[in-house]
């Protein structure tokens, strides 16, 4: 099925759209303070900023407007062999559709044509989906920043060699690992926080205090994550009630939705229940979570009465599935 979006070089008519993308996405990840690229002078005139020699910027166009993009340019304060991957941001509607990989390949191809032999980038802890894309496209972590970008608030740095053949060839498939995990790990905590924020926003009220790391570490609870190239991008838990296991806290980061990761996370939880001798799973979801309801129904779940400590309420739906 052909994509309903276009990857192309930036044009002056895209400047307002791309500036809006940058100013929408960066605060989403807490990257709007001093030392972040949101304050760069080029943000309001991206087409002219990347019209200079050895620079290029590509946008994702959908329905007549730019909804994301990324570019390359010589690394400020770096050598002639090193470029920087810059301002790679996508609105939610541009995520999970393959656009990021296509833009990345366009940027790396442009970098090779411009004569660079290395590509550097800097990012921020918590931008896990973006870092999964970087790993998938051959970038490796380095310990310290390069050049002098002025982005002193970035705390993760990556480098990639460009002397590796034709970049039009699709990258190797990412490593996807499901397993029992510690919800208190440094790289898992942001995922838990995102889950809490998502549910609070969805139902417009704070979550109960009982939902937290210690709750997920209880002896009757098995917490699992899906790690893509080492980055935790989805999670879920099973709480053992004896004659059934309740599935809870299912979450996939927004950038990875629509790619089947939620279904695979659900299947991994079910496998874990079977491995422990469980024969039935139950769950509570909300009427506002329409995509989740569809996933559960496609996976063989059926409506059931409230169970355990749950009570019937208009916003809740209860489901179960024999294993």
Residue 157 neighbours by CB distance under 10 Å: 17
DSSP letter (8 states) at residue 207: P
Q: What is the pLDDT of residue 166?
A: 43
Q: Of how many residues is the chain composed?
A: 323
Average pLDDT over residues 271-280: 95
Cα–Cα nearest to 131, from 170, 166, 85: 85
Q: What is the DSSP string of 107-127?
A: HHHHHHHTT-SEEEEEE-TT-
Local confidence band at 168 (pLDDT 50, 70, 90 cut-offs) = very low
Q: For residues 60 and 81, what is the distance between their CA atoms, to the nearest angstrom?
A: 27
Name the maximum alpha-carbon separation found in the chain: 67
> Does 167 have pLDDT greater than 50?
no
Cα–Cα nearest to 90, from 82, 98, 78: 98
Cα–Cα nearest to 237, from 225, 251, 252, 248: 248
Q: What are phi and psi of 227, to 5 degrees?
A: -110, 125
DSSP-derived pairing of the beta strands 231-240 and 280-286:
unpaired
pLDDT tens for 220-265 read 999 999 998 788 889 999 999 999 999 998 988 876 777 788 899 9
Within 8 A by CB and 6+ apart from 313, the residues are: none
Q: What is the pLDDT of residue 170?
A: 45
Q: Is 35 left (phi over 0), alpha (psi -120 to 50) or beta?
A: left
> Does 29 have pLDDT greater than 90?
no
Q: For residues 278 and 124, what is the distance between their CA atoms, to the nearest angstrom?
A: 40
Q: What is the pLDDT of residue 164?
A: 63
Q: Is the dihedral of CA 104, 26, 22, 197 positive or negative?
A: positive
Name which residue leads in pLDDT, 96 or 43. 43
Half-sphere exposure of 253 (CA within 13 A, CB side): 26
Strand partners, 287: none
Q: What is the pLDDT of residue 204?
A: 60
Q: What is the DSSP string of 136-161?
A: HTT-EEESS--S--S-TT--EEEEEE
Structural domains of the chain, with CATH? 6-161 (3.40.630.30), 176-322 (3.40.630.30)
Name which residue leads in pLDDT, 269 or 164. 269
Q: What is the pLDDT of residue 211?
A: 58
Cα–Cα nearest to 64, from 29, 103, 17, 118: 17
Q: What is the pLDDT of residue 1?
A: 39
Tokens describing residue 6? 């276009």
Average pLDDT over residues 13-17: 94
Tokens describing residue 276? 């422990």
Name which residue leads in pLDDT, 245 or 126. 245
- Rounded to the nearest integer, the mean pLDDT of the chain is 87
Q: What are phi and psi of 40, to 5 degrees?
A: -65, 140
pLDDT tens for 92-104 read 888 888 888 899 9
């Amino acid at each position: 099925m052909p994509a309903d979006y276009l990857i192309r070089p930036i044009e002056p008519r895209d400047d307002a759209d791309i500036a809006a993308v940058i100013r929408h996405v960066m605060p989403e990840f807490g990257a709007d303070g001093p030392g972040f690229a949101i304050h760069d002078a080029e943000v309001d005139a991206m087409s002219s900023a990347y019209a200079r020699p050895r620079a290029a910027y590509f946008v994702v166009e959908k329905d007549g407007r730019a909804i994301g993009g990324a570019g390359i340019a010589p690394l400020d304060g770096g050598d002639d062999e090193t470029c920087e991957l810059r301002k790679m941001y996508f609105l939610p509607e541009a995520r999970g559709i393959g656009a990021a990989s296509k833009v990345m390949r366009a940027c790396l191809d442009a970098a090779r044509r411009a004569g660079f032999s290395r590509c550097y980038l800097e990012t921020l802890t918590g931008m896990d989906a973006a870092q999964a894309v970087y790993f998938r496209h051959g970038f490796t972590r380095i310990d310290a920043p390069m050049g002098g970008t002025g982005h002193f608030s970035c705390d993760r740095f990556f480098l990639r060699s460009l002397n590796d053949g034709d970049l039009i060839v699709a990258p190797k498939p990412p490593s996807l690992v499901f397993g029992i995990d510690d919800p208190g790990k440094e790289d898992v905590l942001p995922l838990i926080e995102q889950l809490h924020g998502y549910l609070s926003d969805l139902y417009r009220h704070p979550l109960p205090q009982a939902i937290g790391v210690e709750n997920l570490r209880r002896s009757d609870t098995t917490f699992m994550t899906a790690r893509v190239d080492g980055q935790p991008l989805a999670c879920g838990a099973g709480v053992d009630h004896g004659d059934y296991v309740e599935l809870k806290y299912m979450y996939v980061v927004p950038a990875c939705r629509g790619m089947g990761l939620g279904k695979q996370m659900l299947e991994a939880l079910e496998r874990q229940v079977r491995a422990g001798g469980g024969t039935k799973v139950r769950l509570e979801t909300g009427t506002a979570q329409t995509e989740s309801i569809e996933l559960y129904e496609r996976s063989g779940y059926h409506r059931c009465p409230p169970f355990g400590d749950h009570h019937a309420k208009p916003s809740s739906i209860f489901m179960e599935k024999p294993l």
